[in-house]
Structure 1
Amino acid sequence: MRVGFFFSGGASSLKAAYQSELHGEKYHIVFALTDKPQASGIKFCQEVGLPVIVLDYKKFCQERNLNYRNLKDRFFYFEEVLERIADFKADIIGLSGFMLIVTEPLLSVYKNRIFNIHPFRLDILSGPQVERLDVGNLMPEEVEKLVKMNKLQRKYKGEDAVYDGMISGEPYAQSTLHIATALFDEGPIIVMSKKIYFDQQWVKRCLKMRNFRPLRTKADAIQEQMKWECDGPAFIKGLELAAEGRIVVKNGTVFLDGTPLPYKGFQLED
Structure 2
Amino acid sequence: MLNVVILVSGGGTNLQAIIDAVENDTITNTKIVGVISNNKNAYALERAKKHGIANCCISPKDYADRATFNQEFLEKMDELNPDLIVLAGFLVVIPPEMIAKYRNRIINIHPSLIPSFCGTGYYGLKVHEAALARGVKVVGATVHFVDEGTDTGPIILQKAVEVEEGDTPEVLQRRVMEQAEWKILPKAIDLIANGKVKVEDGRTHII
The reply to whether TM is greater than 0.5 is yes
1:162 matched to 2:128? The reply is: yes
Partner of 1:19: 20
Distance 1:234 1:221 in 2: 19
Distance 2:85 2:26 in 1: 15
Amino acid at match of 1:31: G
1:90 matched to 2:40? The reply is: no
Distance 2:152 2:80 in 1: 28
Partner of 1:118: 110
The question of whether the paired residues in 2 share the 8 Å contact of 1:23 and 1:29 is answered with no
Question: Matched residue pairs, number?
Answer: 200
Distance 2:103 2:180 in 1: 25
TM-score, length-scaled by structure 1: 0.69
The question of whether the paired residues in 2 share the 8 Å contact of 1:30 and 1:50 is answered with yes
The alpha-carbon deviation at position 181 of structure 1 amounts to: 1.4
Distance 1:6 1:220 in 2: 23
Q: Which runs of 5+ in 2 are unaligned?
A: none
Q: Which of 100, 107, 112 is 1:108 aligned to?
A: 100
Q: Which of 58, 62, 65 is 2:61 aligned to?
A: 58
Q: Give me the CA root mean square deviation.
A: 1.8
TM-superposition CA deviations, 1:70-110 (whole Å, max 9, x none): xxx3x432321221132322110000110012122110111
Q: Which runs of 5+ in 1 are unaligned?
A: 67-72, 125-154, 203-214, 258-270
Distance 2:10 2:151 in 1: 19
Taking a change above 3 Å as real, the CA distance of residues 122 and 24 of structure 1, as seen in their structure-2 partners, is closer
The alpha-carbon deviation at position 196 of structure 1 amounts to: 3.4
The question of whether the paired residues in 2 share the 8 Å contact of 1:94 and 1:115 is answered with yes
Partner of 2:195: 245
Q: Which of 34, 45, 48 is 1:45 aligned to?
A: 48
Amino acid at match of 2:37: T
The alpha-carbon deviation at position 173 of structure 1 amounts to: 1.4
Amino acid at match of 1:16: A
Amino acid at match of 1:186: T
1:29 matched to 2:32? The reply is: yes
Amino acid at match of 2:156: I
**Larger Rg over CA atoms:** 1
Taking a change above 3 Å as real, the CA distance of residues 76 and 23 of structure 1, as seen in their structure-2 partners, is farther
Distance 2:60 2:25 in 1: 32
Amino acid at match of 2:5: G
Distance 2:148 2:11 in 1: 25
The question of whether the paired residues in 2 share the 8 Å contact of 1:36 and 1:57 is answered with no
Distance 2:8 2:62 in 1: 17
The question of whether the paired residues in 2 share the 8 Å contact of 1:156 and 1:165 is answered with no
The alpha-carbon deviation at position 228 of structure 1 amounts to: 3.1
Distance 1:3 1:87 in 2: 13
